[in-house]
Amino acid sequence: RRRSVHTACERMDDGHYMRRCVELARTAVGRTAPNPMVGCVIVDGGGRIVGEGFHPKAGQPHAEVFALKDAGSSAENATAYVSLEPCNHYGRTPPCTEALIGAKVKRVVVGMVDPNPIVASKGVERLRGSGIDVTVGIEEKLCQKLNEAYIHRMVTGKPFAALRYSLSPNGRIVNQLGKGAEESGGYYSKLLQEYDAVVVPRSMLTASLPSSQETGAKQPLHIIIASGVSSSLHLPVSIMESADQIIVLADKSTIVEPESKGIEVIVLEKFSLSSILDFCGRLGFCSILFDLRGDDECFIELIRDGIQEHLVQKVVVEIPSFTERSEETSILPFGDKSLQLKDLQSRNSNENVIVEGYIS
């Protein structure tokens, strides 16, 4: 069993335990949809962590249940830290508020209120109503960032959409990912872990997708966009053997003939970023990665329209590190000069730089 490294006497503030909750929650990154990632720690009067838990997957118990079980009788009079407000409803699992009350915790510290309308502060109210001291909003920004996709879906009804592409030194979207990007530990393979589904253009059909049997890592569902192909589209065997799950989305004019079982072909009535996102939402996904490759005009057009309709929230851009970047807008080659990125962050990846930002 994992235990905190620090022992008794060392008094930590609420933020310290909340950051541990977020760390625990992230253990299940990319695996919890449609549920959020949640972490919980139980801390006794001496500041010792006596129980830890996280929500592993929808349908399985919530973070609080695992942490309380881990703590056993030590939960009595302890403080429970949870990155998201405890639920107060019967969903696939019973309410966490009752579990906390039953375990006789003295205080509950909540990272952020749950934007799910069936929870939305009712959990906090229930705990307070039973005499538990509740603090809300510790490391709130961090907790919101952790579940940015879940929050976006709860608030807007549509999955969170991120866009990835690689640029050439002169600012054009290129086909190839940078060196090492797809290796395990590379930025691209890490990015795939974060998302529930990755949408790739049909040009990807010639490439082979990494398999989780090979890498041991979770693979998101792969959705291949096959619009604008009037002749029949054959799926290469290499693709079908490598990715774990593939869906081909086609428009009405496209004839797709999958040569193997295990690939679902779905024809969308109206083909747009909005309809693709709604389709993903119906599958229970919170976060979708659109993986742009330079040569696919249909796909780029789809994305360009989606950006205009404010359906894309985040971009992850791979640029050669020797590129001069005087204006942030130059890394958004979608023809709209008013597009700006905010909350920019960058890091190195071999000879490239990965820039992340939010479309404002």
DSSP 3-state assignment of 286? coil
Q: Which is nearer to Zn ion, 62 or 122 (CB)?
A: 62
Residues that bind ligand AOF in the complex, under the rule CB under 6 A: 35-36, 38, 55, 58, 62-64, 84, 86-87, 91-93, 96, 114, 116, 119
* Residue 87 binds Zn ion, judged by CB under 5 A: yes
306's CB contacts (< 8 A; 6+ apart) are 161, 272, 273, 274, 312
The 62-81 site mask, x for binding Zn ion (CB under 5 A), equals x-------------------
Catalytic annotation on 98?
no
The answer to whether 225 touches 200, Cβ cutoff 8 Å, is yes
Q: Which residues pair with 320 in a beta bridge?
A: 352
Residue 67 contact, options Zn ion, ligand AOF, none, Cβ 5-8 Å cut-off depending on partner type: none
Which residue lies nearer to ligand AOF by CB, 133 or 183? 133
Which is closer to ligand AOF, CB of 92 or CB of 179? 92
Of 133 and 327, nearer to ligand AOF (C-beta) is: 133
* Residue closer to Zn ion (CB basis): 50 or 96: 96
In angstroms, give the least distance from the CB of 91 to ligand AOF: 3
**Residue in the structure block whose two tokens are 């830890």:** 52
Cβ neighbours, 10 Å, residue 299: 23
Closest distance of CB 153 from Zn ion, Å: 18
Catalytic residue among 64, 85, 139, 356: 64
Identify whether the C-beta of residue 357 lies closer than 8 Å to the C-beta of residue 315.
yes
Which positions ≥6 away from 269 have C-beta within 8 Å?
252, 275
- Which does residue 293 bind out of Zn ion, ligand AOF, none, counting CB within 5 to 8 angstroms by kind? none
Site membership for Zn ion, residue 101 (CB under 5 A): no
Listed in order, strand segments (DSSP E) in the chain are 39-43, 49-54, 79-82, 107-110, 133-136, 160-167, 173-174, 197-201, 221-225, 232-234, 246-250, 255-257, 263-267, 287-291, 314-320, 341-349, 352-359
Distances, alpha carbon 348 to alpha carbons 31, 330, 343, 352, in Å: 27, 19, 17, 6
Q: Interacting stretch for Zn ion, rule CB under 5 A, among 85-93, 107-115, 233-241, 275-283?
A: 85-93
Q: How many residues bind Zn ion (CB under 5 A)?
A: 3
We find the least distance from the C-beta atom of residue 65 to ligand AOF, in angstroms, to be 8
| Tokens at 330, concatenated | 């130059």
Q: How far is the CB of 97 from ligand AOF (least distance, A)?
A: 8
Contact with Zn ion (CB under 5 A): which of 75, 96, 134, 143?
96
Interface with Zn ion includes 233 (CB under 5 A)? no
Q: Between residues 59 and 185, which has the closer beta carbon with respect to ligand AOF?
A: 59
Q: Which of residues 37-66 bind Zn ion (CB under 5 A)?
A: 62
- The one of ligand AOF, Zn ion, none whose footprint includes residue 36, by CB under 5 to 8 A per kind, is ligand AOF
Helix axes 63-71, 14-25, angle to 10 degrees: 110
Alpha carbon distances (Å) from 262 to 37, 161, 188? 29, 26, 25
Q: Is 127 in the site for Zn ion (CB under 5 A)?
A: no
What is the rounded distance in angstroms from the CA atom of residue 104 to the CA atom of residue 83? 19
Which of 278, 288, 284, 289 is CA-nearest to residue 34? 284
Q: Which entry of Zn ion, ligand AOF, none binds 180, CB below 5 to 8 A by partner kind?
A: none
Which residue numbers are catalytic?
64
Instruction: Give the binding site for Zn ion (CB under 5 A).
Output: 62, 87, 96
